[in-house]
Amino acid sequence: MLTQLFSGARRRPLSSLSEQEVLALAIASEEDDARIYLAYADQLRAAYPHSAKVFEDMAEVENTHKNMLIDMHRRRFGERIPLIRREHVRGFLERKPDWLQKNLSPDAIRREAELMEQQAYRFYVEAAKQTSDAGTRALLHDLALAEQGHEDIARMLDERHRPEEVREEEQETAHRQFVLTYVQPGLAGLMDGSVSTLAPIFAAAFATQDTWQTFLVGLSASVGAGISMGFTEAAHDDGKISGRGSPLKRGLACGIMTALGGLGHTLPYLIPNFWTATIAAVIIVFFELWAIAFIQNRYMETPFLRAAFQVVIGGGLVLAAGILIGSG
């Protein structure tokens, strides 16, 4: 926070820039936006080639704007363009570097592009206000209108490169990636956390009939299983060949859902009364098992009755085993 505060203090206000510096900033901004769009295109090209083409064309539009601004600068101030960029001026939204923008969905990238265009429009409106040269002012106003119209241009390019059948195909690709990166690891974690912790938790419950000790056993089993499953998922596949996406995201999804699966029927043992806690835990177990069956049916296209039979019967057997062991 202090770094941002002092960094902002070192920036210049837009009103302090000379007309030459305003033009130089506009040139640098258009060049940066073109490079950002090309980076988006490179990121999308493998899985979404038609969306990549949209951003390539948008980069061409930005380069056209840049060339118009350079011609204006050349006529008014000569060949040497001052070095000034957005990060030198107050009020500009900082752009994240390419490596922090990876793995964004096409929709998220489009939202980022909309923010870029809105900011560019506001910049040109403000820049035109402090320019006295009629030609430069007219150019900046024209560019402001162009940035405001980029939404229409983007829509036109989108319709050209992404007809209805292509959009449906990209939506299917995005859905498949979501399932591979989040749903599959999360489902595996939820199943492991919900089912594998049943036996130790209920064995401890019926062996001790001490709700606090049972809670500690369940907490340690759930957190330990979550850490183990998360690291295993993240380490065994980097996602490059399988196409399953970021190992960090998959590991987090798997680890968190594993821990939640175990904690669901562990938390009732914070209730001091043993039978009240146990009845509540059993009810939660069956909700967990039905949730697993629903997710399998919704995302993995497993018939609901078959998924419910497999999960509920399997979970019930593990639950019964834990109770029998603890009561023995």
- Mind listing the pLDDT tens digit for each residue in 277-327? 889 988 888 888 888 888 888 777 777 777 777 777 777 777 778 778 877
Minimum mean pLDDT among 51-60, 203-212, 269-278: which range?
Answer: 51-60
Q: Is residue 6 part of a domain?
A: no
Residue 104: pLDDT above 60? yes
Residue whose C-alpha is closest to residue 266's, from 232, 224, 230: 224
Question: Residues 189, 80: one domain?
Answer: no
pTM: 0.52
Q: Which domain holds residue 58?
A: 14-162
Q: Is the pLDDT of residue 264 over 70?
A: yes
Same domain flag for 109 and 180: no
Instruction: Tell whether 269 and 137 lie within a shared domain.
Output: no
Q: Are residues 98 and 184 in the same domain?
A: no
Assess whether 54 and 197 both reside in one domain: no
Task: Give Cα 166 to chain centroid, integer Å.
Answer: 23
Q: How many domains does the chain have?
A: 2
Q: Whole-angstrom Cα distance, residue 223 to residue 237?
A: 22
Of 136, 162, 188, which one is at a domain's C-terminal end?
162
pLDDT for 7 beyond 60: no
Whether the per-residue pLDDT at 219 is higher than 60: the answer is yes
- 171 part of a folded domain: no
56-84 pLDDT, tens digit each? 888 888 888 889 889 888 988 888 988 88
Same domain for 157 and 97: yes
Task: Say if residue 112 is in the same domain as residue 216.
Answer: no
Contact, 55 vs 34, CB < 8 A?
A: no
At residue 212, the pLDDT reads 92
* Residue 61 burial (CB count, 10 A): 19
